[in-house]
Amino acid sequence: MKTVIVKLFMIGVILLMLLPYMPGQAATYSEGSYIHGNSLYLPRLFNMTSSPSLFNQDPSYYSFEAYHLNITGKPVKVIIGRDLLFNDTGLKPIIEDVEIPSGNYSQEILNVSISEFNGTQYDRQVYIFADGVPIFWGSTQEIHNSTAESRVTEFENLLKGNVTFEMVIENFYDAKVNITGLYEMNVTLYLYPGPTPVGLPNMFVPLFNSSYNYSYVVLNPLDDVTTSNVSIPMGTYKVQMLLYEEGGGLDEFWYTNEPATREILIYYNNYLAGDLNPFETIYTGGIDLFYWKPLTSIDTLSFHSPYLIDLTPMLALSHNATIRVTVTNLKTAYHLTGSTAFDWDLSGVLMLWVNESNPMIGGTVVTETQHFIDSSPIFIPGYTPSTCYYDEGGNYLLNYTSVLDFLHGREVATTTQEGKFVARQSFNSVYESVYLDETFSESVKDIGMYNYTMVEQGNYPVNMYFDAIEIPLSSSPKIPFNLSYEQNGSLVLSLNFMKNTSFDDFITSSSVNEVVRSEGGFSGVIEVINNYGGSELVSLTSNYGVTSKELNLTFVQNGVGLRENFYAQGIQNSTVNTSGYYSHLHVKFSKVGDPIRDEQVQLLISEIIKLIYVPVLKSLFLFI
């Protein structure tokens, strides 16, 4: 009797392990887990693409990021890169030296627009660096074109004068398996004249320098730590670390793996100084490639998740810093599966506030708390031999307070981070149900020569369910090979985040609440082209999907700002034209605060004080 193993495929950039085929049987895949003597098979994850001939749409911008700061005023437009062609470029950058016009700018926005042509291609990572410093991370739409933007005002003191930009689309070309698509990219910097925000960093030190002279490193189970030795100027009175991250290989869908939690831990001279919670970014070929055409998931085209750690109290330890970064559970994933293909791409920078005329002359750490715990994977057998339940959770608390003495003044710096994470799954060879949530907060308070506060809070919940069936079309296939495949499922992914900062009297507040919901499935024949999850759609027999995205964004500085409300729904219901279409699209921008009205209110308050409160105070003073 011929055995058919039913699998869940989340067609995304990577899969779980591909094990040898059993002669005379359908394909058998295993993650290598044995629980109580029962072999447990898990759904696989693919990165899938398809021929452009299936797509018959070419609007001005087929896909776009919902996140958009609709800033008023006429900007200074600076072309960073025009019609840049990425063929078989890999990580090799296209380099452009650009002169940034001098001036005072209240906001700076970087726009990245990309088009795909010349055949089938996967979603690819997009990186932009300025003098080796990461200022933009995102990815491509597999077809047609896309546009996205990122606020880069924090880099205003970096983006001055002559700047060397390194632009990367990690594209690969392989005509043998019909991967021939090319990408063309345009990058534009928009500078909005106005008062420069108070309290911007004025020095930037890229971490993890690569052979291409920009910040980039890949971690895996055999090399899960990266270290940078940095000499921080003695005049530094504040330091923060900005980190970009993304899971790759078998960890593109790390939240569906076992273990399903990943924490990015930052050490400063062997002190655990920070914990970052990665967001579950889904690329345009991920889970179900039709879900994201035309409407993309959250943080896909441009990353907006906060990855900022305040390290100011650590200056009391030493200005010769050894920065060590590691990703948890990579070795555990290797031990459970036997695979080393759990990758994490990282890029980072130390942002420094430096006054060379006022060097630090001493410092003391007065409080220190380093608490991190992870339960490790817990497996519970199900009611049937092939079913398993998985649980894992953990929490952390980090707190540092230091007294920093300078030649002219003193600063008391406190940073507190805390959070928790929980993962739950049930799975067998037919389906997988996934839940993960990460909740975190960070608070910072610096008092003395300057006064600074920061409060961040957020969480990233994801709920997924998929079932699928696959049948190899040959008894003993070798890569590349074809599968008859059918998948159905649903997911809900959210990004909830708020951040408030004050630097002396300059106050900035922002909040983002974004949720994407997808459901549906497809069937057809796919060609598996490598052993870590790449596949191409050969033919399509059914296709239906509905994806909706809702965004509520608020950004305010000193009481004046903007609010964005966005809702869109994309539909897939054709095997002939799989470009899909928007069934709903609503975007509303509104102002927060009215400068003219606020000025009138302040004048009115001043008059009330003069007419009423000043005479009262004078009379009280005379009475006393």
Q: Per-residue pLDDT tens for 236-278?
A: 999 999 999 999 999 999 999 999 999 999 999 999 999 999 9
The pLDDT, as a whole number, for residue 617 is 39
Model confidence at 616: pLDDT above 80: no
pLDDT tens for each residue of 148-181: 999 999 999 999 999 999 999 999 988 888 889 9
pTM: 0.87
pLDDT tens for each residue of 22-32: 222 222 222 22
Q: How far is CA 472 from the centre of its chain?
A: 35
Identify which of 255, 246, 252 has the alpha carbon closest to the alpha carbon of residue 433.
255
CB 463 within 8 A of CB 446: no
Integer angstrom CA distances of residue 375 from 222, 393, 544: 22, 6, 39
Model confidence at 541: pLDDT above 50: yes
The pLDDT, as a whole number, for residue 535 is 83
Least confident span in 181-190, 447-456, 479-488: 479-488
Quote the DSSP letter at residue 395: E
The pLDDT, as a whole number, for residue 474 is 80
Question: Which stretches of 198-307 are assigned E, i.e. beta strand?
Answer: 203-207, 217-219, 225-231, 236-249, 264-268, 271-276
pLDDT level of residue 613 (50, 70, 90 thresholds)? very low
Token pair of 360, please? 């630090």
The pLDDT, as a whole number, for residue 42 is 57
For the chain, the average pLDDT equals: 87
Q: How far is CA 548 from the centre of its chain?
A: 20
The pLDDT, as a whole number, for residue 477 is 73
The pLDDT, as a whole number, for residue 383 is 79
Beta-strand relationship, 388-406 and 360-374 = antiparallel
Model confidence at 190: pLDDT above 90: yes
The single-letter code of the amino acid at 149 is: E
The mean per-residue pLDDT over the stretch 412-431 comes to 95
Query: In a 10 Å sphere around its CB, with 0-12 CB exposed, 13-18 middle and 19+ buried, how is residue 537 labelled?
Result: buried
Model confidence at 15: pLDDT above 70: no
If one compares 327 and 472, the residue with the highest pLDDT of the two is 327
The pLDDT, as a whole number, for residue 375 is 96
Integer angstrom CA distances of residue 509 from 191, 276, 291, 456, 608: 21, 21, 33, 10, 29
If one compares 384 and 540, the residue with the highest pLDDT of the two is 540
The dihedrals phi and psi of 88, each to the nearest 5 degrees, come to: -90, 60
Q: Which helix (H) or strand (E) holds 403?
A: strand 388-406
